[in-house]
Amino acid sequence: MIQKKRAPTEHASFRINTNTLDNLKKISKDQKLSLNTYVNQIFDSHVNWDVNASEIGWIVMLKSASTELIKHVDNQTIIKIAKDAAESGAKEIALSMRGKYGVNEWISILKERAKSSGFSIKEYNEKNNTKLVMFHEMGEQWSLFFKTYYETIFFDLGSKIKTEYTENSIIIELEV
């Protein structure tokens, strides 16, 4: 069995509103996580996503509304919007969120974005290849958008990229 190397930790004490702490305990128990693990996940998500996401243009929107809106857009328009969005903002997003514009930073951003959106994402590493499989349940139009958006970013970064998509998933293979 392969064991992951644990990140160094440090003890800290916090005063937390009793109702909030009770809710945290209940959620961690429901998710079969220790309270410590659950709170660390919350802190990690906040530091790596929440703090900067809204500042650089990410918004929270009802999934069903987003899905309905994009259903009425033709493929050429979706591709144009995805390319334009990637070309105009990818570098600023990476610099703001990770301090560097590179392939590993964008893999990290893609994974955090998926997690914060409630998408399932799996990463497979083999030699010099990274394969990311994201399941989003938002329909084929969104798959086309994600495919085009991430292809544009990784191509700009000089990465060899192959993508596939289905109605509710996208597969991104990168040579890193």
Which pLDDT score, from 0 to 100, does residue 1 have? Answer: 52
Which pLDDT score, from 0 to 100, does residue 49 have? Answer: 85
Q: What are phi and psi of 111, to 5 degrees?
A: -65, -45
Which pLDDT score, from 0 to 100, does residue 57 have? Answer: 83
State pLDDT tens for residues 73-118. Answer: 999 999 999 999 999 999 999 999 999 999 999 999 999 999 889 8
Among 98, 83, 96, which residue's Cα sits nearest to residue 154?
A: 83
Assigned token pair, 37? 């693990």
Q: How confident is the model at residue 169 (pLDDT cuts 50, 70, 90)?
A: very high
Which pLDDT score, from 0 to 100, does residue 83 have? Answer: 97
Give the residue carrying structure tokens 């493929």: 75
Assigned token pair, 34? 């220790």
Q: What is the mean pLDDT of the chain?
A: 92
Strand order across the 120-126 sheet: 120-126, 129-135, 169-175, 160-165
Give the three-state DSSP class for 31. Answer: coil
Which pLDDT score, from 0 to 100, does residue 55 have? Answer: 83
Instruction: Evaluate whether 48 touches 112 at the Cβ level (below 8 Å).
Output: yes
**Calpha distance 109→98 (Å, rounded):** 8
**Calpha distance 166→135 (Å, rounded):** 9
Which pLDDT score, from 0 to 100, does residue 51 have? Answer: 86
DSSP state of 91: H
Q: What percent of the chain has pLDDT over 70?
A: 98
Instruction: Evaluate whether 151 touches 110 at the Cβ level (below 8 Å).
Output: no
State pLDDT tens for residues 124-142. Answer: 999 889 999 999 999 999 9
Has residue 2 got a pLDDT over 60? Answer: no
pTM equals: 0.82
Q: What are phi and psi of 5, to 5 degrees?
A: -75, 125
Has residue 8 got a pLDDT over 90? Answer: no
**Calpha distance 5→20 (Å, rounded):** 31
